[in-house]
Amino acid sequence: MGKKYNPKDFESKWQEQWFSKMEYSAQDLLSDKEKYYQLVELPYPSGPGMHIGHTRNYSMADAVVRLRRMMGQNVLFPIGWDAFGLPTENYALKVKRPPQEITTESIDNFRRQLKRLGLTFDWDREINTTDPEYYKWTQWIFLKLYEKDLAYMTDMPINWCPKCKTGCANEEVVDGKHERCNTPVEQKKLKQWVLRITEYADRLIDDLDSVEYLDSVKALQKNWIGRKTWYDIDYKIEGAEEVVRVSTTRPDTQFGATFVVVAPEHEILQRLKEQMPEENRGSVEEYIEESKNKSEIERLDESREKTGAFTGLYCINSISRKRLPIYVADLVLTTVGTGMVVGVPAHDKRDFEFAQKFNLPVIRVIEDLNGDRSEIESVEKVYTDEGVVFNSDFMDGLSTTDAQKEAGRYIEEKEIGEVKVRYHLRDWNFSRQRYWGEPIPIVHCEKCGIVPLKEEDLPLELPVLAEYEPSGDGQSPLANITDWVNTTCPKCGEPAKRETNTMPNWAGSSWYFLRYCDPHNDSELISKALDRYWMRIDHYEGGSEHITLHLLYSRFWHKFLYDIGVVGDPEPYQKRTIHGVVLGEDGVKMSKSRGNVISPDTLIEEYGADVTRAYLMFMGPYDGNVVWNTRTIEGVNKFVKRWFAFIQDAWESSEQSSEEVGVGVNRLVKKIEESVINWRFNTSIAAFMEFYNNYNSKTFSKADLETLITISSPIMPHLAEQLWDITGHNSLVNNQAWPKVDKEMLVEDTLEIPVQVNGKVRGRVTIGRGMSEDEVREIVEKNEKITTFLEGATIKKFIYVDGRIVNIIV
């Protein structure tokens, strides 16, 4: 075997050994080892296969789990396929083939690529969300949700994508467009399955205290849920018996309220119509009609001018006793508060703009931290920060926060309203009018209404169809399959019809990590013992695109499964981090249309798996975006070749290692261990290179060379295996124990430290280990280079930081 690095000669050989022997499978319930569950996001198997981003992220996770196994941990590192959903279905429609077939092909291709990279996933735990054996349990969770009244049907208006011909969740609408296809969504009234995620809103926020997500991830979760305390207050309509309930989150500014705005869709407008003066009624009706024709996008356009119409009505603020005009305006949405809000122009920018447009008074009631009470005469001066309340009767002198509490107390005591927590989060629209998803296990019976399937009848399999083009009329393609749709009611046995909507893509991925722990269990979703052993997931590595929705949905389902006793922990993930993205050479996201896509297959073909992996890790920090650069991969390629030859040469000429070499090897072990565990692979590889630069001409003992081969294996596993073989070992190096750092070896007897004069480095001295300050001072004062800087000056202070640095102040 030559010293020339030729990865094609050996990479596949070692892969076969790893995968056929299943050397790295996790061992269930093994109690004498520490368990470690490393989760990576399960990929969507699409036609083009593995993206360079997957290659990078999985290579990193693989390096970490290889190290952890060598350190003696029982590691669970599984993979699976999130294969239902629109991309495959749309592609299948285009090429006129069944999605089942396409999915199988894509998975086979993806699996081949992952293996070709040498990733040590636990292949006998592979799952596939489109496999009836898997989605049986997705359907089972749905039945449980239904049983607990957390899944319900409603015909609320939903977001409808006219291009994809399906409804979608609020979360999938970005800037008024369907995120998958960028088509503006419309509002459509459809009978929908909805999950009551709002029921879990508080816990989804509060339990974040028990996990170690990045701060930004926690903030995003909280932000999305958007918990706020609202103060709903009853105002009496002037000259009528009618009472309206208005909302505010700033009751401390009640005395500064100068108007009330109601959303155009608000039903109260119909009731109040009679009481409106003749001259206002017409314009109000006209305004309502106009706003009906406005699209969601138009309405949410912040930059457009404020519009609205005066109703001619007034109400009495039940806190300030002031008389406020009532306006209708589309800047208020029915879903916000009670759909009627209090306008306080002095302390809300939007209210100020509205007041200017309609010539309404501006009354300041909060002074700033400098006690400023000057008039608010421009938008820039609108004061929204904390301060002290004035001109506000019983709230005078209180801070804004205290005044809010006081107002809340007042409202409840006088029984003029209610303090209420509201959320931005809406219930989760769970129906899709498409074919390629989990069928919802429900039957509609004329007599019995909505009837769930019996658990023992699961899975309800998706029929294989010849035609599955969505009709666009709001019906799922399944609706046309009469012999599937027509069934009998599980309750009364009479003819009934199946639910034809399918579940969204999020369903299967909301619990997949549990199935990895117990993938072949056909009597339970997961056994209690395996759940208690493997969960919670120690580290979930993934992309930023899934930190709001997937995280929220899966945490919700997990809490539900905890509530019904399936799992033993209300939170699934202990730690969640976000990887960076590999951008194209032009600095832009890789895409087919831009032609800047780098294919992992090509790289592996040209450089081999190890160089590909190592380079992707070397490019930059784990959490940063990196720009692809074809030139710089050569640097890593060069190093890997040299490292391969160096170990072999050193082995042939091996003798005793000098103390210096021993120290160097130990340092390197420590550095590699720390940097890999902390996902700082770019510095691991730099450490290897640095070691090579400093030590490649030295003589090594066989034991030290074995150590070097062993520590190479997390990052360059094939190369390490090959070297282990060449040097006459009959085992797998990836199975060796991680070398123990010899702490004694790390401390040298003498060390060189810098000497500063007035904070500037002026020389260096060699001192002994454990020397006292006086001894060090003696050495420093004998050093000519330094004494030239001390001539004619008196030493004011001599600072010696043990083993680090000397600083002399003159």
Partner RNA sequence: GCCGGGGUGGUGGAACUGGCAGACACGCGGGACUUAAAAUCCCGUUCUAGCAAUAGAGUGGGGGUUCAAGUCCCCCCCUCGGCACCA
Helix (H, G, I), strand (E, B) or coil at 26: coil
CA–CA separation, 332 vs 260, rounded Å?
Answer: 11
Task: Give 468 or 622: the residue with its C-beta nearer to RNA.
Answer: 622
> How deeply is 286 buried, as exposed, middle or buried, from its count of CB atoms within 10 A (0-12, 13-18, 19+)?
exposed
Among 299, 322, 491, 667, binds RNA (CB under 7 A): 299
CB of 797 to RNA, least distance (A): 6
Binding of RNA by 288 (CB under 7 A): no
State which H helix or E strand residue 233 sits in: strand 227-237
Minimum CB distance to RNA smaller for 365 or for 566: 365
The least CB distance from residue 724 to RNA, in Å, is 23
Q: Does 759 bind RNA (CB under 7 A)?
A: yes
Is 189 among the residues that bind RNA (CB under 7 A)? no
Compute the distance between CA of residue 556 and CA of residue 565 in angstroms, rounded to an integer: 14
Closer CB to RNA, 488 or 758, in the complex: 758
Site for RNA in 402-421 (CB under 7 A): none
For the CB of residue 785, give the shortest distance to RNA in the complex, in Å.
8
Our finding on whether 306 is near RNA (CB under 7 A) is: yes
Closer residue to RNA in complex, CB, 380/483: 380
Check binding of 93 to RNA (CB under 7 A). no
Residues 307 and 328: their CA atoms lie apart, in Å, by: 9
Q: What is the contact mask toward RNA in residues 600 to 619, using x (rule: CB under 7 A)?
A: -------------------x
Interface stretch with RNA, choices 61-69, 190-198, 344-352, 590-598 (CB under 7 A): 344-352
Contact status: 629 vs RNA (CB under 7 A): yes
**Torsion over CA: 508, 511, 513, 516 (sign):** negative
Contact between 639 and RNA by CB under 7 A: the answer reads yes
Provide the mask over 691-720, with x wherever binding to RNA is found by CB under 7 A and - wherever it is not.
Answer: --x---------------------------
Q: Is residue 174 close enough to count as binding RNA by CB under 7 A?
A: yes
Which one, 17 or 756, has the nearer CB to RNA?
756
By CB under 7 A, the residues from 54 to 73 that bind RNA are none
- Measured between its terminal Cα atoms, the distance across the chain in Å is 64
Q: The tokens 């209690």 sit on which residue?
A: 528
Tokens of 808: 């002399």
Contact with RNA (CB under 7 A) among 63, 443, 626, 719: 626
Q: Specify burial of residue 595 (Cβ count, 10 A radius: 0-12, 13-18, 19+).
A: exposed
Q: Report DSSP letters for 406-425, one per residue.
A: HHHHHHHHTTSEEEEEEES-
Strand partners, 797: 809
Q: Which is nearer to RNA, 486 or 758 (CB)?
A: 758
Distance CA 536, CA 501 (A): 33
Q: Is the Cβ of residue 117 or residue 341 nearer to RNA in the bound state?
A: 341
CA 759 → CA 787, 793, 794, distances in Å?
A: 15, 15, 16
Residues 199-258 that bind RNA (CB under 7 A): 214-216, 219-220, 223-224, 226, 228, 247-250
Contact 570, 562 (CB under 8 A): yes
Considering all CA atoms of the chain, what is the largest pairwise distance in Å, rounded to the nearest integer?
109
Comparison of 249 and 283: residue with beta carbon closer to RNA = 249
What minimum distance in Å lies between the beta carbon of 193 and RNA?
23
User: Please, which residues have CB within 8 angstroms of residue 662's CB and are 6 or more apart in sequence?
Assistant: 704, 742, 745
Query: For the window 418-457, what string marks contact with RNA as x by the rule CB under 7 A?
Result: ------x---------------------------------
* Candidate residues 421, 737, 747, 809; the one interacting with RNA per rule CB under 7 A: 809
CB of 502 to RNA, least distance (A): 25
Q: How far is the CB of 195 from RNA (least distance, A)?
A: 19
Smallest gap from residue 789 Cβ to RNA (A): 8
Q: Which stretch binds RNA (CB under 7 A): 55-63, 232-240, 303-311, 654-662?
A: 303-311
- Tell me 697's DSSP state: T
CB of 455: closest distance to RNA in angstroms? Answer: 37
- Token pair for residue 74? 């029982």
Is 1 among the residues that bind RNA (CB under 7 A)?
no
Under the binding rule (CB under 7 A), the answer on residue 689 touching RNA is yes
Q: Residue 572, preceding bond cis, omega within 30 degrees?
A: no
Residue 488 in the binding site for RNA (CB under 7 A) = no
Binding track over 715-744 against RNA, x by CB under 7 A: ------------------------------
Of 276-284, 339-347, 550-558, 699-707, which segment contacts RNA by CB under 7 A?
Answer: 339-347
Element housing 743 (H / E) = helix 743-746
At closest approach, how far in Å is the CB of 621 from RNA? Answer: 4
* Chain Cα centroid distance, residue 765: 51
Which residue from 627, 741, 745, 790 is in contact with RNA, where contact means CB under 7 A?
A: 627
> Can you spell out the DSSP letters for 576-628?
EEE---EE-TTSSB--TTTT----HHHHHHHH-HHHHHHHHHHSS-TTS-EE-
Beta carbon nearer to RNA, 496 or 672: 672
The rounded distance, in Å, linking the Cα atoms of 565 and 430 is 23
- Contact in structure between 374 and 287 (CB atoms under 8 Å): no
Q: How far is the CB of 786 from RNA (least distance, A)?
A: 11
Smallest separation, CB 306 to RNA (Å): 6
Helix axes of 600-607 and 633-652: crossing angle, nearest 10 degrees:
30
Burial 403-416 (b: 16+ CB within 10 A, else e): bbebbbebbeeeeb
Among residues 72, 754, 768, 770, the one that binds RNA under rule CB under 7 A: 754
Distances (CA, A) of 375 to 250, 371, 397, 444, 774: 19, 13, 18, 63, 68
Q: Is residue 336 involved in binding RNA (CB under 7 A)?
A: yes
Binding segment for RNA among 130-138, 283-291, 342-350, 387-395 (CB under 7 A)? 342-350
Among 743, 760, 784, 794, binds RNA (CB under 7 A): 760
DSSP state of 566: S
Tell me, by CB under 7 A, how many residues bind RNA. Answer: 79
The verdict on 544 binding RNA (CB under 7 A) reads yes
* One residue of 71, 300, 451, 726 binding RNA per CB under 7 A: 300
Closest CA to 540 of 131, 106, 213: 213
Of the candidates 236, 580, 203, the residue with the CA atom closest to the CA atom of residue 423: 203
Residues 112-171 that bind RNA (CB under 7 A): none
